[in-house]
Amino acid sequence: EYEIIEPHKIQAVTAKQYFWHKKAGIGHLVLHTAGGKLYFSYGNYADILQMVNFWMYKVESSGKDWM
């Protein structure tokens, strides 16, 4: 199943990495919206941090309201 989410609908972005995942370089990403949370698990943590920065830029630079 696919979900399409517009960047201005994102309310928060969370990147998590458990201490036992640090050596492997993996982590988790959570997109928070008014409709709930979207989870992306076990991704490359360096890539996750780049995605967080990209999405936060898109959210902050968009002139659209999230509602």
Kindly report, residue by residue over 20-66, the tens digit of the pLDDT. Answer: 999 999 999 999 988 899 899 899 999 999 999 998 888 888 777 76
Q: Write out the residue range of the structural domain in which residue 55 sits.
A: 7-61
User: Is residue 1 in a domain?
Assistant: no
State the average pLDDT over residues 6-14. Answer: 87
Q: Is the pTM of this model over 0.85?
A: no
Tell me how far apart the alpha carbons of residues 43 and 30 are, in angstroms, rounded to a whole number: 12
52 within some domain: yes
37-61 per-residue burial string, b: 16 or more CB within 10 A, e: under 16:
eeeeeeeebeebeebeeebeeebee
Number of domains forming the structure of the chain: 1
With respect to residue 67, please indicate whether it lies within any of the assigned structural domains: no
Task: Tell me whether residue 66 is in a domain.
Answer: no
